[in-house]
Amino acid sequence: MNRTQQLHKLIKLTGDRAKLDAKANDTYIVYKNGNGQIVKEYVDGRIIPLNGRE
């Protein structure tokens, strides 16, 4: 595996871990989606866009 593939795998695993922690603590994760918008994703699947005022 080259460094780029290793980094991609590490980032994916970090996101998966964040989702598990969010589920265990009944909270949400925050990330930038494919459109460049920052969103909150809840364990139940709800995705709420943030507009920078929260």
Q: What is the pTM of this model?
A: 0.74
Q: Compute the average pLDDT of residues 28-37.
A: 94
1 pLDDT band, cuts 50/70/90, is confident
In-domain check, residue 54: no
Whether 28 and 40 have beta carbons less than 8 Å apart is answered as yes
Query: How many Å apart are CA 41 and CA 28, to the nearest integer?
Result: 5
Q: Compute the average pLDDT of residues 24-49.
A: 95
In-domain check, residue 9: yes
For residue 42, the tally of other CB atoms under 10 A from its CB is 14
- For residue 8, give its domain range: 3-49
Structurally, the chain folds into a number of domains equal to 1
